[in-house]
Structure 1
């Protein structure tokens, strides 16, 4: 029998029992769609969390922790392979105060190397990076931290500074927390740049960014006012390395660990997250497979009834020389056909459900939480990658063929004489 004739044979018998076959296909469709949609939630949550992590920081950033981070050590880090920049931000660790045009604030001073900052694109909203002594860049929310304690607004709160910043001069003072007093000496600073606003609305940048030219003056004031002063107590370092691309972050991190540094990079976090979600997605696929196994019971019953109803036809086929392998193949093709049709419909249905879920669920969640601005709610509930479609298709079609294998074997063992005696 030619392959085309085998296809016609299968199609003919499917048409005879349209309703029963339709219900069997429907069961297979529901099982497969359940697997795909369920597992797609794992892919969607992973993608959402990954995007959130990557949006919060530079993906090539590596945090370096060390008790002894002096200038030679920093220079050594810059010479390492695949390192694009090393930014050492030194923060003043004592009480601080800024003053400008009658307004005062408590913004923190950070000393950094703007040459290295420029390599990792220190973003400015306006102005430029410092080039001369005592020039600084201020955070985008610097003005919000400047208040006039003598003036109150309509709500009884101190008035905040709302004038221009670029080109303005302000004073910087600091002192000890122990006696809650500031040293008399002031350092005049000029604003030449304003940093770009952080990507997250809830992050407020009120810091003052200066270069190393400020450090001698700060140290001099500190030493002259504090007996037995240790300059090492004045600053603390926050060192960040930046790899030349994401692929080299892991290799740079591992090399640093081998040399005794404590490091942390987003690649470590992503690796742990990927392991967790791999286990989660495997579990969701396992649960979804149970639904397909339940649907396989319907395929088994349908194929068993098909063999019983076609006993005479099978006897005739055997009588004219059909081999047991051919008979088995015909019934396996029929069960596979049910699995293929059910899988195809399930894939189309799953993409539709995924699209609707991603469209409506954020609105429902936002309404439940009382959120008016949906723009801040960037959650993807369902993603269906081609790998998931492939896995679900293989599972569905394989289970369908296994379900039809036993009835197909039964068909090959039908006795010819008994089958021909059976009435139509």
Structure 2
């Protein structure tokens, strides 16, 4: 029997009993829709959780910190603060981020770049006219911040002497120290290309503040991305080191004192976990957002399996209905089966016909279930959006998210459920003896 003849016969047989087929397929529709909606709900929660993580947008980034080792029992141990200006010590297991260490980290396979960073250890106040601001000052050992893959709001990522790149939030956080209660907030200045005064502060032994004014030109503004860069002002490492030496009153020897931290960029997010582990094995502390995302994804994958299993129970009930429907169909069509065999149909032909009918019921139910599940997920998103708007919140998340593979998987799974449900009745039909089947009343 040719395939298209078989397919035509299966469709005709299903069309003769529309009511029974529809009622049986409804069970498959409910089970398939339950699988789609529940798994979409878990996928939506996963997507919402990972997208709202702080700084999770850069999955190829690895933050490395020095290992100051066991300092117990040491006298007057001084570790470099934000500027790394402290003296070295012989603490057990100490691993500082010296230039040599950074070179070793950069040599790891898969590392795209390793950039040293250091915080300014004193106080800093940015002034534009009468307005003041308090950004965090960070020195970076690179002439171009493009290595960090920041999305720029405006300007350039290139740093030269006397220039700075500032985060979007910090660029719009100016205040008027003379503002009176009830007055409107001051208009934020446009910093791009503007010269600003950076007032650095340190304190002497008596607590008296000593200030130093630096003129800087803002050459770039980083777009807000819910990460630490929003609050930062980035300057060249050599300039920040000079300011830190002024605060500490001593020279900084990077080969002895190291840097506060190093940012490592991997060639691919898939390599970050392995690179971070190699850096940890070298004795430093390495962390990456990918580790957090991986942990969260593991939890939500388990949730998807559990939710999918709950929906599969409904499909199991539907499978019993398909098996019952096919068994009744065989009893009703026993003489028809005997006649088919008498005119030359083989056991394989009969088996194929009834298996095809069972799979067809599963396929019809699967199509309906996918449509119902997809529509139900969209309806849940609309209901959630309206509820958030009514509560005065902006819509920032979706309750459900249906990945492309899920409808395809649900449709194939429903079809297979129908196929296996009809296996026993189909085998029973295929093994009927023609003479006995023709005598059946």
TM range (shorter): 0.7 to 0.9
- SS for the counterpart of 1:109 is strand
8 Å contact 2:122–2:244 — kept in the other structure? no
**Does the CA contact (< 8 Å) of 2:120 and 2:244 recur in 1?**
no
- Which ranges of structure 1 fall in alignment gaps of 5 or more residues? none
> Counting helix residues as a fraction of each chain, which structure ranks higher?
1
Runs of 4+ residues deviating >6 angstroms: 229-232
Written as runs of structure 1 = structure 2, the 5 A alignment for 1:118-137 is 118-121=146-149, 123=152, 125-126=154-155, 129-132=158-161, 134-137=162-165
Q: Deviation of residue 239 (structure 1)?
A: 2.0
Task: Give the aligned partner of residue 209 of structure 1.
Answer: 234
TM-score (norm 1): 0.79
State the Cα distance separating 1:412 from its structure 2 match.
4.9
Tell me what 1:405 maps to. 423
- Kindly tell me: are residues 236 and 105 of structure 1, through their superposed partners in 2, closer, same or farther at Cα, counting changes over 3 Å? farther
2:119 matched residue in structure 1: 91
Aligned to 1:219: 245
CA positional deviation for 1:63? 0.7
In 2, the alpha carbon distance for the partners of 1:242 and 1:288 equals 42
CA distance in 2 between counterparts of 1:328 and 1:121 reads 61
| Counterparts of 2:331 and 2:172, CA distance in 1 | 83
Cα distance, 1:354 vs structure 2 = 4.1
Pairing 1:175–2:202 present:
yes
State the alpha-carbon separation in 1 of the partners of residues 177 and 169 from structure 2: 18
From the superposition, tell whether residues 241 and 116 of structure 1 become closer, same or farther in structure 2 (CA, over 3 Å): farther
Cα-Cα RMSD:
3.8
State the Cα deviation string for residues 277-314 of structure 1 (Å, max 9, x = none): 33222222222211111112221221122122223333
Please give the secondary structure, in 1, of the residue aligned with 2:249. helix
Report the 3-state secondary structure (helix = DSSP H, G, I; strand = E; otherwise coil) of the residue aligned with 1:34: helix
Unaligned runs of 5+ in 2: 68-95
Q: Counterparts of 2:5 and 2:295 in 1: how far apart (Å)?
A: 54
**Residues 237-276 of structure 1 mapped to structure 2, 5 A cutoff:** 237-276=260-299
CA contact (8 A) 2:144 2:158 kept: no
Q: Structure 1 98/235 Cα, relative in aligned 2: closer, same or farther at 3 Å?
A: farther
Q: Structure 1, residues 84-115: CA drift from partner, whole Å, max 9, x if none?
A: 33232211344444555454444433222242
Number of residue-to-residue matches in the alignment: 408
Asked if the contact 2:198–2:214 (Cα under 8 Å) also holds between the matched residues in 1, the reply is yes
Residue 379 of structure 1: aligned partner:
398
Over residues 359-398 of structure 1, what are the superposed CA-to-partner deviations in whole Å (9 max), with x where a residue is unaligned? x145234235322x44xx1436221322x34432343222
> Shift in Å at residue 242 of structure 1?
1.2
**Residue 364 (1) aligns with residue 386 (2):** yes
User: How far apart in 1 are the matches of 2:223 and 2:47?
Assistant: 25
Query: After the TM superposition, which of the residue ranges 2-11 and 325-334 deviates more from structure 2?
Result: 2-11
Aligned to 1:64: 64
Residues 385, 168 of structure 1: CA spacing in aligned structure 2 closer, same or farther, 3 A cutoff? same
Deviation at 1:4, TM superposition (A): 5.7
